[in-house]
Amino acid sequence: MSHTQDHDFHVPKPSIWPPVSCLGAGLMAFAFVMMVATKSADMPWGALYAQITMVVGLLTLVLGAGKWWCMLIKESRERGYDKVPKVLDLANRYGMVFFIASEVMFFAAFFIAYFYASTFNIVWPPSNIEVLSIELPVINTLLLLSSGATISWAHHALIKGDRKTLVRYTLLTAVLGFIFLGLQMLEYSHAAFAFDSGIYGSAFYLLTGFHGFHVFVGSVMLLVLYKRLKKGDFSQKHHFYFEGAAWYWHFVDVVWIGLFLFVYAL
């Protein structure tokens, strides 16, 4: 007996790649816990197992997420970008809004922990911590603010139908993101304190590292977006993936401004 679809939502075919992605993320989380536990217990062999588990988890996550992403892109091309029902487009937008809201809660918790630690310590940063200079964070702030302008410019070009400018500025935004990450790694290499150097070191690396991870994810999203734009994906009126990536990137920009002000400048 045949069944007809009585709704406008797209129901994807069963796939193994979402659970594979979750498995990879779970292995990475487990490996992180192992690293912390084995380091505190002075177990070198445990640290080796933790590193192996982290690598396996990362490779599993990349494989699963990559295959899952390719599957979704194929489905969107088969459906057609000008044939997206309004209710589905609205659902996508609500989903992205709720996702960013959950990310706001993550960073809010980290900022509150940082403020709590700074409030209940007489000297902040602690006197035994040699804080980093502000030069590289200033450059990174200019880079991220510039990248926010370039992704907005690219969006404007997409609406106007200027594909050449669109592709160029999307790629430029991704490049600025990777330059930001490179400078952050350079900054870490000059740090005189580590993650386990008291509450300041833990809070600093947790905030900046978690933000850096988001910049990496956003940069990868922009690279995928660039490749799709080169193949002619999206139309002037229907391009939610571009909008979602732009929203995410602007969120990353705003979080960095808070980091720069409260962690570096004040």
Per-residue pLDDT tens digits for 209-241: 999 999 999 999 999 999 989 988 887 877 888
Q: Residue 1 pLDDT > 50, yes or no? A: no
Q: Is the pLDDT of residue 251 over 90?
A: yes
Give the pLDDT of residue 125.
83
Q: From the CB of residue 137, how many other CB atoms can be counted at a distance below 10 Å?
A: 20
Structure tokens at 126: 């602690």
**CA 106 → CA 46, 64, 140, distances in Å?**
29, 24, 22
Could you tell me which residues come within 8 angstroms of residue 157 by beta carbon, excluding any fewer than 6 positions away?
163, 165, 166, 169
- 49 in Cβ contact with 34 (< 8 Å): yes
Residues 255 and 247: beta-carbon distance below 8 Å: no
Residue 8 has pLDDT above 80, yes or no: no
Q: What is the pLDDT of residue 81?
A: 65
- Residue 82, pLDDT above cutoff 80: no
Q: Supply the pLDDT for residue 220.
A: 92
Torsion angle of the four alpha carbons 238, 242, 245, 246, in this order, in degrees rounded to the nearest 10: -100
User: Mean pLDDT over all residues of the chain?
Assistant: 87
pLDDT at 109 over 60: yes
- pTM of the full predicted structure? 0.84
pLDDT of residue 257: 95
Q: Which residue has the higher pLDDT, 172 or 129?
A: 172
Per-residue pLDDT, averaged over 36-45, amounts to: 69
Check residue 42 and give left, alpha or beta (phi > 0: left; psi -120 to 50: alpha): left
**d(C-alpha 53, C-alpha 69), whole Å:** 24
Q: Given phi > 0 = left and psi -120 to 50 = alpha, else beta, which region is 234?
A: left
| Secondary structure tally for the chain: helices H, strands E | 7, 0
Is pLDDT of 135 > 70?
Answer: yes
Is residue 44 very low, low, confident or very high in pLDDT (cuts 50, 70, 90)?
A: low
Decide if pLDDT at 55 tops 90: yes
Give the pLDDT score at 15.
Answer: 87
Express as a percent the part of the chain with pLDDT over 90: 54
Whether the Cβ atoms of residue 263 and residue 114 lie closer than 8 Å to each other? yes
- Find the mean pLDDT for residues 109-121: 88
The pLDDT > 70 percentage for the chain reads 91
The Cα–Cα gap between 255 and 257 comes to 5
On the question of pLDDT at 2 being above 50, the answer is no
Helix (H) or strand (E) holding 11: none
Determine contact, residues 264/134, Cβ cutoff 8 Å: yes
Place of tokens 């980091």: 259
Instruction: Burial-class residue 169 by CB neighbours within 10 Å (0-12, 13-18, 19+).
Output: buried
Q: What is the radius of gyration, based on Cα positions, of the chain?
A: 21
| Predicted pLDDT at 195 | 82
Of 3-7, 49-53, 128-132, the range with the highest mean pLDDT is 49-53
